[in-house]
Structure 1
């Protein structure tokens, strides 16, 4: 035997194993490819699978032709990937990395194959292997680099310093103001010095949300009044802490319980030592309290008071100084929100959003359980006198006069659209803005009334003094997708193109839409186009002929998906997602559910969710974060429905009282990764003057999550689903923490560049807030961190960051 045929036994074994590996890879693609072609999908996987399987067999037989055949297949894959995905990094990674790794191994095996056939070794293959290795290493390094979806172009707007005397004094409402801007006129912390931020103090609440998803979650944004912060926990404990040290001053525990959905997103605040405004004084007197609710007629015993709604449907007024219940409010500081509601089964009516303090009133809605049955509790909205707790007006939308308080013996109309998220208020116009949900159940609406159809998934403007309806604007007709309005409206003024401004209301939706309405009239300012809507075939259902689409502003993550948009960590994973996609009935947005599998994109989680938007009025930029998770849905005929109660976002839901139960889940790969290409979550800036997207960047990495929930530990900025809100400051910063990894980040709000981040003990679903201490003059940025959604790591942290103290 000469040297060309002397092949070590280990090398022969490794080549055989490589052949088996390539064969298995090919067979997997071949089997799946056949199914994909049967469904009318791409032929690539079948052809690549067949060629790879043959090449693998030849390699196992140690024939050089196997390497040549796989090499040709890899070159064809490279060409197909560029045609199918373009020059987009993450789609190319999905298509090319695994085939390239196999090609590298095949190239390294080439000399062994040649020698085993008595041929010259052919060491030029090492050069091919080196090229492939460099490409793979370059891809690995590149994966850690941020990839903006859109970069800011042209001249960035200047930073406008805060005018003397115009600095923000307090953070008095959940969204900072009743306009829901989440904007702070503070500029001590800037893009230039933000890297110096450090932890100033950490507080612990003692209320750790031990479950995740549909149980306890920490989603709180604290209030700041003077030198005190006020926060609430998932189980409605209220805690007051010192704004400079984080030390607890008092705590109140209402012993609130609910079987699910335990969370408190925020509190309300009112200074009862001030006299009523002229508008408030002229308003009609509040209606008398029902017999079960008595109020003190004496002077206010709680000057400054904290208001909270609870998961077990109570409204509390607490003395901001001591945490004691205010005896002159309701019945010894408590109003029973179950009054007038009729039967409420456990978990069917909870309040999780911050109450809206609108002048002399507290306005509250409520979350109604999804998808369990018809005839669930009312979605009534009620206003109470903030001083006495007396009922002022109700909005029971199925009645001809929904704003007239009911006789205590009459219950509010059951199963009406509700307002589960936060509302907004314009004191100049005297209007309260309600973002409504839809009448349950979500995926069947055959029993909905004309009133239900009018008010579901709509923005409704009511006169704050009386509760009388001023206007209503619907964002989805006959909603079958749970596209209820999840976010607080954002009130700001926008250019009218004539040198003046218009009073605007910006409403973001789960469907990735942004509606810009005149908040005085409800008429769209930016273009909304009614598009033909897909029709379904569920017996007994009716379908809207058209749906509104906000085309005058950017649509976020709402593109129509194609097979080429499918993604996966490997070609096999991607192929399986393609098979799923082709099995679905999908007619773009508003594909209605039916007895077959239907794809809903965006899914009912968003798009955008309850975190709401922020806006910088000095630049006219609106900031929106989103998640990109599709769902598959299916209606189950009643006779075939064997399990499922509903009341949760995913899985089987009974929808008792309708012809169908339902089934839905996230559109994920076998590895638990979203099936569409990244990013899976972004932050976007929209110029409200030009109504154009300024920049869009992926948000979050896979450091603390990964396939099948396994933490990858790698800060790869692929962009993960977001949940929470953002904070804009006048210095040109945008803070955000609602990611899947455990960081609070700061972005340059004019460019989208990440300029700072801080590692937290656990993730966060809260919205950052900021204030300047009246004692020390230091600006703090505060975040509540109880754990990211779907994360097993939980905590009870409230963390404040500040610049180092200057001597």
Structure 2
């Protein structure tokens, strides 16, 4: 009776909001069934049977044989219905002795139908479609030596190691070769690089460590003693940069250098062999990144991604705080001399005529889009490719200038020698969705259109992938300007259309509906449907609103800073895609108080609106969108067709209210980083939120090998061959026990513990 009453009231609320009639009917049926059962009338049991049969039919109509989507619709009611099958319940309702259940013809038929249903579920959800790759062996490796010298393996950012020693035939024999503990707790997002006999990586707090590639023994470490807190986003370092100086430019001082850019806005250079500061770089091995930036409040500007060396120029952008205020620090991109630290040029989007420091009393143009993610370079073309975010703050743009709009949410090709713009392409116009281009642009040479085209792949948070000519910025596949929903917010505007990469596969789902809402139980699933019906949502690019807007893809992607990986020899692109909607609501300034909750949003001071932004979750903190939440796919770049696409990851470390279920059920879980691919036909990934390192066949998507990790990795794997032993290794970095999102507070506490063992560097190889 209580269940029926709750469903009736909530169902009426949903119906008024324009949703499904089912819940009203179900609530009424359960309420009547409950009353009859309470009175001892066995018609109540028959009514419940009819209700359950109709619920099965309705569920199959809505979601077919999707087991995760069926769970909140059928699971609770199936368990509740078992009560009617208990002998005591049957005797009580019949008021007389009853036959054993399985002797009844109806029970036998029902059992057979249930068995058929379970078998159908199993069969329908086994495997995934696999196409035939057309570009096999049609390409060449960018770095035939195979050294992983840059964050993304090479300056092209393909995350490809050409080595074949570990391959699909022997990967099942892969074992841990060594494990190193960093002694630095907290976040650990760094992917190492390998040059000769050194592995170089950074941990949180921008500490650089050099390890022996064969043993993991520490060769040296450098602590820059940063001044920012040792937790949260201030603890982010994604990687370091290697530089070998041309002859006669540095003498005997640091001929080979490792750079890190820090979260307290410094750029440091140390000797790759000793870890000692390079005394001829800036002031005893460091320069400040604050000159020309003007007033910078604590935490409003720093660097989280490694710089790129291109044509003897060290290029870097910077991270700027989200959603806080207008006139935040500039998104300027700068080029420095890697030998001396001298500024060579600055690309200031608001003053493109000026390439040096601003005059005294002035600063680089404030509030312009920043380049917080990873950059790539084509030294033959003399170009650096930088992905930009949107102007600050994120969700309101009525105040933005032409300089703020022109290069926002774009990929920009800068001349490495001068910082001048060669070309740019904008992936989102007047971005008020926080749809930064978060991914490192990936450079590939693709046979298409009658010849070999120099291409740049641009993955986006929108789950769109743009394929452009990297010499000119010309689209190599079709891009369509599609009409999109328009804003109803006073003093704001939206453009009539937005670009969609229709010539490449999209990794967003079809526009969402109430059918796609999910939850652990029918009650929180219904709550999600009610909320969905009340939010503004008109498909992709629905703008922020005062009533609240559903963003899908959410602000984490689609694709994020993990980018894509490319098998350069076989022209196969590996894509990791997220599915996590967000709720975004603008809050009029006169409604903002000290008690206002922003979630992941912020005050947006200087605009008419603050903003609330959070993942779209049920009252039990389960996602309101049905699984999968994380997918992996492979695209044949020669045909631009998806070879295969499948969910990746299990629900073992997730559950309602943050409680782990421990159930290794395939679900498709969230990603925290990207993938690496090798010449042995393997994809490696350890960043799915189920604390598992995986090797996957790139041609089929079959999972060939796994290893349980101490936590979910926050970094992309890498692979190298030791110059000393000739062994191929696959390596992953893992944080100190913070695989689950709700453990962040504990991670912050542990970051202050100087005695902690810290994160893990785990290396695998085939046993002798």
**Category of TM-score, reference length = shorter chain:** over 0.9
Matched, 1:459 2:411: yes
Matched, 1:189 2:166: yes
* Alignment counterpart, residue 799 of structure 1, candidates 742, 750, 762: 762
* Alignment counterpart, residue 265 of structure 1, candidates 238, 251, 261: 238
How many Å separate the matches in 2 of 1:139 and 1:185?
A: 46
Counterpart in the other structure of 2:719: 770
Q: Secondary structure of the equivalent of 2:550? A: strand
* Alignment counterpart, residue 188 of structure 2, candidates 212, 218, 225: 218
Q: Secondary structure of the equivalent of 2:495? A: coil
Q: TM-score, normalised by structure 2?
A: 0.93
Instruction: Compute the displacement of 1:310 (Å).
Output: 0.3
Relative to structure 1, is the Cα distance of residues 166 and 462 closer, same or farther in structure 2, using a 3 angstrom cutoff?
Answer: closer
Q: Secondary structure of the equivalent of 1:235? A: helix
* Alignment counterpart, residue 251 of structure 2, candidates 287, 295, 299: 299
Counterpart in the other structure of 1:444: 396
Relative to structure 1, is the Cα distance of residues 101 and 136 closer, same or farther in structure 2, using a 3 angstrom cutoff?
Answer: farther
Q: Secondary structure of the equivalent of 2:204? A: coil
Question: Greater shift after overlay, 690-699 or 731-740?
Answer: 690-699
Counterpart in the other structure of 1:333: 285
Q: Secondary structure of the equivalent of 2:206? A: coil
Does the CA contact (< 8 Å) of 1:146 and 1:717 recur in 2?
no
How many Å separate the matches in 2 of 1:84 and 1:702?
A: 23
Does the CA contact (< 8 Å) of 1:62 and 1:113 recur in 2?
no
Counterpart in the other structure of 2:751: none
Relative to structure 1, is the Cα distance of residues 127 and 761 closer, same or farther in structure 2, using a 3 angstrom cutoff?
Answer: farther
| Offset from partner CA, 1:56-82 (integer Å, 9 cap, x none) | 222232221111111111111111111
* Alignment counterpart, residue 598 of structure 1, candidates 549, 558, 571: 549
Q: TM-score, normalised by structure 1?
A: 0.89
Does the CA contact (< 8 Å) of 1:149 and 1:695 recur in 2?
no
How many Å separate the matches in 1 of 2:667 and 2:552?
A: 20
* Alignment counterpart, residue 222 of structure 2, candidates 236, 249, 252: 252
| Offset from partner CA, 1:78-124 (integer Å, 9 cap, x none) | 11111111232322233222222233332445972477434764846
Does the CA contact (< 8 Å) of 1:143 and 1:717 recur in 2?
no
Does the CA contact (< 8 Å) of 2:135 and 2:571 recur in 1?
no
Number of residue pairs matched by the alignment = 751
Relative to structure 1, is the Cα distance of residues 162 and 198 closer, same or farther in structure 2, using a 3 angstrom cutoff?
Answer: farther
How many Å separate the matches in 2 of 1:345 and 1:146?
A: 55
How many Å separate the matches in 2 of 1:395 and 1:138?
A: 65
Does the CA contact (< 8 Å) of 1:112 and 1:121 recur in 2?
no
Q: Secondary structure of the equivalent of 1:230? A: strand
Matches within 5 A, 1:329-728: 329-407=281-359, 410-498=362-450, 500-643=451-594, 650-728=599-677
How many Å separate the matches in 1 of 2:655 and 2:117?
A: 19
Matches within 5 A, 1:31-42: 31-42=9-20
Does the CA contact (< 8 Å) of 1:699 and 1:722 recur in 2?
no
Q: Secondary structure of the equivalent of 2:741? A: coil
How many Å separate the matches in 2 of 1:748 and 1:105?
A: 46
Matches within 5 A, 1:24-103: 24-103=2-81
| Offset from partner CA, 1:25-53 (integer Å, 9 cap, x none) | 32222121111111110001110111012
Relative to structure 1, is the Cα distance of residues 332 and 577 closer, same or farther in structure 2, using a 3 angstrom cutoff?
Answer: same
Counterpart in the other structure of 1:207: 184
Relative to structure 1, is the Cα distance of residues 104 and 394 closer, same or farther in structure 2, using a 3 angstrom cutoff?
Answer: same
Relative to structure 1, is the Cα distance of residues 425 and 601 closer, same or farther in structure 2, using a 3 angstrom cutoff?
Answer: same
* Alignment counterpart, residue 198 of structure 2, candidates 217, 220, 228: 228
Q: Secondary structure of the equivalent of 1:781? A: strand
How many Å separate the matches in 1 of 2:111 and 2:268?
A: 64
Does the CA contact (< 8 Å) of 2:131 and 2:642 recur in 1?
no
Does the CA contact (< 8 Å) of 1:104 and 1:133 recur in 2?
no
Relative to structure 1, is the Cα distance of residues 155 and 537 closer, same or farther in structure 2, using a 3 angstrom cutoff?
Answer: closer
Instruction: Compute the displacement of 1:129 (Å).
Output: 5.7
| Offset from partner CA, 1:232-273 (integer Å, 9 cap, x none) | 011100011111111111110001132441210000001115
Counterpart in the other structure of 1:314: 266
| Offset from partner CA, 1:209-231 (integer Å, 9 cap, x none) | 0xxxxxxx211100111121111
How many Å separate the matches in 1 of 2:765 and 2:328?
A: 47
| Offset from partner CA, 1:180-221 (integer Å, 9 cap, x none) | 000011000011111111110010111110xxxxxxx21110
Relative to structure 1, is the Cα distance of residues 494 and 789 closer, same or farther in structure 2, using a 3 angstrom cutoff?
Answer: farther
Question: Greater shift after overlay, 431-440 or 396-405?
Answer: 396-405
Does the CA contact (< 8 Å) of 2:140 and 2:568 recur in 1?
no
Does the CA contact (< 8 Å) of 1:505 and 1:518 recur in 2?
yes
Relative to structure 1, is the Cα distance of residues 358 and 31 closer, same or farther in structure 2, using a 3 angstrom cutoff?
Answer: same
Instruction: Compute the displacement of 1:680 (Å).
Output: 0.6
How many Å separate the matches in 1 of 2:618 and 2:506?
A: 25
Does the CA contact (< 8 Å) of 1:530 and 1:546 recur in 2?
yes
Structure 1 unaligned segments of length 5 or more: list them: 1-22, 210-216, 277-297
Runs of 4+ off more than 3 Å: 107-111, 113-150, 154-163, 165-169, 273-276, 402-410, 643-646
How many Å separate the matches in 1 of 2:130 and 2:725?
A: 37
Does the CA contact (< 8 Å) of 2:184 and 2:759 recur in 1?
yes
How many Å separate the matches in 2 of 1:203 and 1:246?
A: 6
Does the CA contact (< 8 Å) of 2:653 and 2:661 recur in 1?
yes
Structure of greater Rg: 1
Instruction: Compute the displacement of 1:178 (Å).
Output: 0.8
Counterpart in the other structure of 2:752: none
Question: Greater shift after overlay, 120-129 or 465-474?
Answer: 120-129
Question: Greater shift after overlay, 79-88 or 218-227?
Answer: 79-88
How many Å separate the matches in 2 of 1:622 and 1:141?
A: 34
Does the CA contact (< 8 Å) of 1:702 and 1:716 recur in 2?
yes
Does the CA contact (< 8 Å) of 1:104 and 1:132 recur in 2?
no
| Offset from partner CA, 1:142-187 (integer Å, 9 cap, x none) | 9999957842134787679999x98534211000111100001100
Relative to structure 1, is the Cα distance of residues 109 and 126 closer, same or farther in structure 2, using a 3 angstrom cutoff?
Answer: farther
